[in-house]
A and B are shown apart, each in its own frame.
Chain A
Amino acid sequence: MKLAATLEDVKAASSTCLRCSWCAYGPWPENLPLCPIYSRFPSFTFSGGGFLFLALALLEGKIEFSQSIADFAFSCSSCNACDTKCNVIHSHKSHVYILDAIRVMRREAVKRGFIPDGVARKIYDEVKKTGDYGRANGFKLPDKIRSDNANTVFFTECAHSKSRKGIAEATINLLEKIGSPVGQFAEKGCCGSTLYDFGFWDELEPLVKANWAKMKPMKGKKFVFFDPHCQEFIVKRYPEILPDFSPIKNQHFSQLLADAFKGGRLKSKNSGKIKVSYHDPCYLGRGLGIFDAPREVVGALKGVELVEMVRNRENSFCCGARTLGDYVPNLSEDTARERIKEFEVTGADLLITACPYCKDQFQRVMPAKDKTRVKDMTELVDERT
C-alpha cells in the first residue's frame, strides 16, 4: 500500500462523505461528541467530513492554500476518532481515511510555506535546520539488565516531552524489578512520526530509511515502545513508505507489564487504597487497538480501583496535545480541560495515561496544586511494586 501523499490520492475517499456528521459523535446511547474541534463548536466544517470537503474544494480550486488553511488543518488533534466512527470511508477501495486527507492538507500547506505559529513553527524551524527532530533522551539501561543478545529490545525514542524523564526512570526501575534482560534501540533522530503528522515530509524519508537500516538487523526481535506515536508510526506507516519493510514484532510497555504481572515476575505491594481513572491515549487505543493491557495492569495493583470515564476505550476523548493550529482559539487547552472535567466526575484520585504527550498536556492545564494527580501508568506501577 502506498502512502497517501497528494490531494489527488485522497480525492476518491473524500468523495464518499455523506455529510452525516457520524464522524463527530460517539456511539449510542451516550452519543457524546468525540471530535475535539466539533465538541468545541458543533458544525459540519469542524468535523471529519468538513476536512474532506475542504480537500475537495482545494482540489477543485474553489479555495486557495493560505495561512488559514494551515491553521485549520493543524487544529485537528489527529485523534483518529472520526475514522473510527465513519461508516462509509472504511470500505473504500483506496483505504484512505479522513486523517490521511488532513495530513495531506498539512503537507500541502507546509510546502507552500504556510505553517502555524508556535509549536508547529518551532518544530519546522528545527527540522529545516537539522534535518531531524530527534532528541537524545539519556535513557540508558543499567548493565545488570542490559543485554545486546536479548530477544526483547527497548525502543528508546527521542525526548521531547517533559514527562519523558520520569517515565524513563520508572521504566528502568520496572525492568530491573522484572529482571529479564533487554536490549536497547536508540533511534537515529526522530522515528518520523512527528514529521509525518505535521506535514514536514521533505525530511521524512531519509529519517525513516536511516531508522529502518538500524532496525533491520534486529527485526527478529521484539521491539517494546513506551510512546504509542512511535509504535503506531513504525508499525503502520513504515510499510507504506519503505519498499523493503517487513513486519516487526512489537509490544507496548503496558503489554509487557501486563505479561509480567501474569507471569508473576512483577508483584504489587500492599499500598493504600486509591481510585484511578485511565485515559486511553489515541494512538495506543484507536491507533493500535491496545485497550485491555493498561487496564489489566491497573487491575493487578493492590488497593487500586479503576473508575472509567464516560468516554473510554475506542470512544475515548483526546487530550488535545497534538492540536497545533489556532483556527479555534485555545482549542488544545480546552480539549484537555474538557477531558479533565470528565475525569473529575469519576471521583478518582489520579488520572493515569500511557503516553508522554497526554501526561504533559494534562499537567499543563491542571491547576498547580493538582498537577501530581496526573501520572503515567509506568510511574504508578513503579510506586506500587
Chain B
Amino acid sequence: MSTVNPLDAWPPPAIRLEPHQLASGDRGRIVVTIDVPDGCHVQSAQPAEPFLIPTSVELDAPPGVTIGEPVYPPAECEHYEWTPIELSIYRGIVEVVVPVEVATGVPPGALTMAGRVRYQGCTEYTCLPPVERPVELALSIVSPDAPASS
C-alpha cells in the first residue's frame, strides 16, 4: 500500500529571520510560512474539535538563543452544512511568528535552528493525513557594532 501523502506535494514551509541577522542582546522574529494551495485549507492552531490536528510550529533554540511562544494568525471560520460546528481553518499564505532573542555574550558566528511544522490539510475533495515537515534556519549572529542589515 502506498504511503504517499498528497500533502507532501504542497510547497515546503519556509522560514526566515527578521531582521536578517542579529547580534548578542538583540531581539527579532522568526517567520514560518505555510503556503496552502488554492482550494485547500489546513486546520488552524485552535481547531474547532478536540481531535482535529492543530497547525503548529516547534523550533529548537540553540544555546544562547531564546525563543518565545509562536503567534499564529487569526483563523477563518468556515461553516458547512454537514456540521453545526464552525471549522477553524487557514487558507493561502499562513505566517506564524516566533519571537527570538539572542543572549548577551553570544559570540558572532553561524547557528542553526531546526524545527518542525505540523498541519492537517484538506483539498476541495478530501481530507489528508497530518504531516510533520522539517524546517531549518541558518541564524547569523554578528558583532554588536556591525552595521544593521536590511
Instruction: Note whether A and B form a binding pair.
Output: no
State the A residues within 8 Å of B (CB).
none
State the B residues within 8 Å of A (CB).
none
